[in-house]
Chain A
């Protein structure tokens, strides 16, 4: 039973570039949420995808966008990268978008902006 998988594990970019991060949900899960975790902070909610649509969004600018595919996998895209975008990006999946469903996290992608 595969858990949540994310790729790549590490990534180095420079300011102004664009990045795409990928996530495959846990088997049987259809909802994917993305989080940004800066050093020493708790994860911050970016957005959630269900039925290939963005359902909810946190306080992140439009430079952050995403997509969900028919197989429930998801991508996070960040344009015009800033130094402050350096963080661990976590993908979490759940069985449906309801609030009482616990979310299971992948190992994350560590993004460094130079």
Chain B
């Protein structure tokens, strides 16, 4: 069974602080990894892909540890607008094409002024 596990939170963090989320996945055949952001009653939006070497996009840094099967997201200098649910997403390819994205339930982040 494919599973992606996240701490649901909520994480209450003061503005300007650094916050980190982790996510674990069960299927070692997973091929691609993403972080999506979802605002309340809105659609998920791609935040960033996660590469094996780790990658950074402005204040956001993503890391992948294939051996331990976990993914992390670090947000530096957090802004009020970062308040959202962050979805860890894994994509598998069983050889016939992508098997569809497997989403975690999301981690709810609240940035406080």
Q: Using a CB–CB distance below 8 Å, which chain A residues touch chain B? A: 33, 35, 40-48, 50, 55-56, 58, 90, 92, 97-108
Contact = CB atoms under 8 A, between A and B. Distances in A.
A42 B106 contact: yes
A90 B44 contact: yes
A50 B97 contact: yes
Nearest to B91: A99
A105 B44 CA distance: 6
B44 to A, nearest CB: 5
B42 A48 contact: no
22 contacts: A33-B100, A42-B103, A42-B104, A43-B44, A43-B103, A50-B97, A55-B96, A56-B97, A56-B98, A56-B100, A98-B93, A98-B97, A98-B98, A99-B31, A100-B91, A102-B46, A102-B49, A103-B101, A104-B46, A105-B44, A107-B42, A107-B43
A43 B102 CA distance: 8
A100 B31 contact: yes
Given A33-B101, A42-B106, A99 B93 contact: yes
A42 B105 contact: yes
A94 to B, nearest CB: 8
Nearest to B45: A105
Contacts of B91: 99-100
Interface of B: 4, 31-32, 34, 42-46, 49, 87, 91-93, 96-106
Contacts of A44: 103
A55 B97 CA distance: 8
B75 to A, nearest CB: 19
Contacts of A33: 100-101
Given A99-B92, A107-B42, 14 more contacts: A33-B100, A42-B4, A43-B44, A45-B100, A47-B100, A55-B96, A56-B96, A56-B97, A97-B98, A99-B99, A102-B34, A102-B49, A103-B101, A106-B43
Contacts of A108: 43
A45 B102 contact: yes
A46 B100 CA distance: 8
B52 to A, nearest CB: 12
